[in-house]
Amino acid sequence: MTQEEYDKNIQTLISWAHAYYVEDNPQASDEEYDKLARTCLAYEQTYPQNSHPNSPNKRVGGMILEGFQKASHLSRMWSQEDVFNTEELIDWINRAKKVNTNLEFMCEPKFDGASLNLIYENGVLKQAITRGDGSVGEDVTNNVKTIHSIPLQIKEKSLLEIRGEVVIKKADFEKINEQRAKNNEQLFANPRNAASGSLRQLDPSITASRKLFFNVWGVGQNSLEFKRISEKMDYIYSLGFVKPPMQVVVNDVEGIEKVYHEIIASRDDIPMMLDGMVVKIDDIETQEELGYTVKFPRWSCAYKFPAVEKTTKIKDIIQQVGRTGVITPVAVVEPTHIDGSMVERASLHNYDEIERLDLRINDEVIIIKSGDIIPKITKVFHERRDGTQEKVLRPTNCPKCDSLLHDEGTLIKCQNLDCPSIVTNSIIYFASKNCMNIDGLGNKIVELLVNEKKIYDILDLYSLKYEDLQDLEGFKEKKISNLLNAIEKTKGTTLHRVINALGIEHIGEVASKQICLEFGLEVINIDLDSLIALDGIGEQMAKSFVDFMGVNKELVTKLIDIINPEVEVKQEVLENAFKGKTVVLTGTMSRSRGLIKKELEALGAKVSSSVSKKTDFLIYGEDAGSKYDKAIELGVSAITEEEMIEMI
């Protein structure tokens, strides 16, 4: 590396560190950052006289976020020296052995979060300060008081600094990001940034809502007298801090390696993100003798785990069609090793997310995979674009059957009942109890019939013959005739049941009934405007229905021909006291409420389940409770069942 290159790299590191520590919005993966930092470190060691005064290799962490009060630590906070393999670990041990050949090591998980210092005075939490540059950090006391795992009072009365890591659970990290995606906010690249960003909020109620957790790992200023750090920490846990899930004292490299691999093996079972194991020399006198560099203690090191977060490149965006026809985009990425497996694909929530991330083919991205988290893209490096990037278009046709897709933003769906990806599900739905109620045609049987190529869509059910089923395993005479009879029995059912059984997105039984009453057999030809004009049919429902008929008209026409359903006609309801009124039923009546509901609906009333200003009548029986009170409060006229009968 030339001096010029070195200077340029240091500028890059400084800007990456700023984005990472101050803005909680990294512009590189840790791996890229560490690699560049190490290359610069090698240069600094060869040419110490040329090294940059502000090199991130010489200082701890970041700067203070605007809006926070600065606060000083009583004693300095440090970073950790990284070791990445056994060789580097042995190197570190050998350096320590120069002051003491008889070493014991305390090993514990390294939680990946935000470093925090708590100052206790007279047993009371006085101040909580972020690590900042190691000497001065941000005063986040009010935020920290919302974290339940931090005691506000402890029984130790001497002046004491407690250090630990504020972390967020992996599952909560995912939830926050899902919420942020919905709100069109930038995602957190990883749980560490999420923890740090949540801790450094000007509004403590936001911090409180984020479910942060505190893992204690050390002490700063203190007057506790212990010979070993492991004993000192046991005392600290006894004050009401949570003890880390694994903590072992060993006395050689083999011992350290063993714990290291044990912690890696249980990494997925621990709900918080770990990025390594910290090894500390247990004897406090030896620690004092070894002392500190400008950046870290010489008596401890962070033995890093394989990264779960990597930079990779988007090669393509392909579509996956789910069993219900929902289309999900999947990113094909340059194959990347993450934590023991080769990652080639990452899931994206939907096409709206692609637009929000402004993700393009050939973009460089951060991909994160940890334990049970499916590989996810959390960050797109827009600044790294080189002109080869291509926009991702929303699909208009199904990749499986080429029919037009129904697109309502976050949801894109193939509704073609002939589409091979959805046939099984659509037949199962069609036959289910609340739809056509075809006895003997459950999930397993439908799967069998489709897999054995006995049927390709709903229509085929009606051309099934005895001979078709004879050769199927477990199909005896009785079973076959029962099934064929059950299918036959659906003929002549009502039109709205048939429409409801098609599984049209957003169109349930009530809507089906309403549409069928209004349009009869013309349902297959309705246009958008006529549908929207119907009371209770929203735009989304109408569009879904029209899109559905657009791709399935032929099939539905044939189906109606075969089933020959009864077409219900709208009966003009005679004038009566309940026509067009909104009614709520409550309490115990002389007959079932379901029956009374039907009766009222036949009179043209709308029966609703909750009382509001729009309610015209509350009809109450015995033991009426809160609905009655509310009706009285809102001035809704409340009548008994008998009064209702009289009014009819």
Ligand X SMILES: NC(=O)c1ccc[n+]([C@@H]2O[C@H](COP(=O)([O-])OP(=O)(O)OC[C@H]3O[C@@H](n4cnc5c(N)ncnc54)[C@H](O)[C@@H]3O)[C@@H](O)[C@H]2O)c1
DSSP three-state, residue 411: coil
As a whole number of angstroms, the distance between CA 245 and CA 418 comes to 53
As a whole number of angstroms, the distance between CA 211 and CA 262 comes to 27
DSSP three-state, residue 374: coil
Q: Got the DSSP string for 80-142?
A: -EEE-SHHHHHHHHHHHHTT-SS--EEEEEEE-SEEEEEEEETTEEEEEEE-TTSSEEEB-HH
The answer to whether the annotation marks 165 as part of a ligand binding site is yes
Going from the C-alpha of 326 to that of each of 128, 232, 407, 422, 647, the distances in angstroms are: 48, 56, 10, 9, 50
User: C-beta of 119: minimal distance to ligand X in Å?
Assistant: 16
Find the part of the chain contacting ligand X (CB under 6 A) among 25-33, 562-570, 594-602, 608-616. 25-33
Q: Nearer Cβ to ligand X, position 117 or 201?
A: 117
As a whole number of angstroms, the distance between CA 357 and CA 351 comes to 10
Which long-range CB contacts under 8 A does 383-391 form with residues at least 24 apart? Answer: 383/27, 385/360, 386/362, 388/362, 389/360, 389/361, 389/362, 389/363, 390/360, 390/361, 390/362, 391/360, 391/361
The answer to whether the annotation marks 280 as part of a ligand binding site is yes
The answer to whether the annotation marks 304 as part of a ligand binding site is yes
Catalytic residue flag (residue 110)? yes
The answer to whether the annotation marks 40 as part of a ligand binding site is no
The option from ligand X, Zn ion, none interacting with 398 (CB < 5 to 8 A, set by class) reads: Zn ion
The option from Zn ion, ligand X, none interacting with 419 (CB < 5 to 8 A, set by class) reads: Zn ion
Among 16, 173, 303, 548, binds ligand X (CB under 6 A): 16
- Is 28 a residue that touches ligand X (CB under 6 A)? yes
Going from the C-alpha of 329 to that of each of 189, 326, 390, 395, the distances in angstroms are: 20, 10, 16, 9
Catalytic residue, candidates 97, 98, 110, 169? 110
Task: Return the number of other C-beta atoms located less than 10 Å from residue 5's C-beta.
Answer: 12
Residue with tokens 């101040």: 127
Find the part of the chain contacting Zn ion (CB under 5 A) among 16-24, 107-115, 413-421, 486-494. 413-421
Q: Nearer Cβ to Zn ion, position 366 or 419?
A: 419
Instruction: Report 299-338 residues binding ligand X (CB under 6 A).
Output: 302
The option from ligand X, Zn ion, none interacting with 207 (CB < 5 to 8 A, set by class) reads: none
Tokens representing residue 36 in the block: 């560049």
Instruction: Report 270-289 residues binding ligand X (CB under 6 A).
Output: 278
Residue with tokens 């926009």: 391
- Is 156 a residue that touches ligand X (CB under 6 A)? no
Tokens representing residue 96 in the block: 């320590």
Under a CB-based contact definition with an 8 Å cutoff, are residues 462 and 562 in contact?
A: yes
Among 79, 117, 207, 230, binds ligand X (CB under 6 A): 79
The answer to whether the annotation marks 414 as part of a ligand binding site is yes
Q: Got the DSSP string for 436-472?
A: T--TT--HHHHHHHHHTTS-SSHHHHTT--HHHHHTS
Q: Nearer Cβ to ligand X, position 131 or 200?
A: 131
Q: Nearer Cβ to ligand X, position 80 or 370?
A: 80
The answer to whether the annotation marks 8 as part of a ligand binding site is no
Instruction: Report 88-117 residues binding ligand X (CB under 6 A).
Output: 108, 110-111, 115
Q: Nearer Cβ to ligand X, position 20 or 545?
A: 20
The option from Zn ion, ligand X, none interacting with 108 (CB < 5 to 8 A, set by class) reads: ligand X
Q: Nearer Cβ to ligand X, position 224 or 533?
A: 224
- Is 33 a residue that touches ligand X (CB under 6 A)? yes
Among 197, 218, 375, 503, binds ligand X (CB under 6 A): 218
User: In the Cβ-directed half-sphere of 471, how many Cα atoms lie within 13 Å?
Assistant: 5
- Is 400 a residue that touches Zn ion (CB under 5 A)? yes
Among 9, 24, 26, 469, binds ligand X (CB under 6 A): 26
Q: Nearer Cβ to ligand X, position 137 or 375?
A: 137
Q: Got the DSSP string for 480-539?
A: HHHHHHHHHHTTT-BHHHHHHTT--TT--HHHHHHHHHHHGGGGGG--HHHHHTSTT--H
The answer to whether the annotation marks 516 as part of a ligand binding site is no
Tokens representing residue 508 in the block: 């349930």
Among 9, 24, 30, 273, binds ligand X (CB under 6 A): 30
The option from Zn ion, ligand X, none interacting with 80 (CB < 5 to 8 A, set by class) reads: ligand X
The option from ligand X, Zn ion, none interacting with 400 (CB < 5 to 8 A, set by class) reads: Zn ion
How many of the chain's residues bind ligand X (CB under 6 A)?
A: 23
User: C-beta of 402: minimal distance to Zn ion in Å?
Assistant: 7
Instruction: Report 39-78 residues binding ligand X (CB under 6 A).
Output: 61
Going from the C-alpha of 409 to that of each of 35, 326, 351, 356, 446, the distances in angstroms are: 41, 12, 8, 12, 31
Residue 517 exposed, middle or buried by CB count within 10 Å (0-12, 13-18, 19+) = middle
User: C-beta of 175: minimal distance to ligand X in Å?
Assistant: 23
Annotated binding-site members for NAD(+):
30-34, 79-80, 108, 131, 165, 280, 304
Interface residues toward ligand X, by CB under 6 A: 16-17, 20, 26-30, 33-34, 61, 79-80, 108, 110-111, 115, 131, 165, 217-218, 278, 302
The residues assigned a catalytic role are 110
Interface residues toward Zn ion, by CB under 5 A: 398, 400-401, 414, 416, 419
Annotated binding-site members for Zn(2+):
398, 401, 414, 419
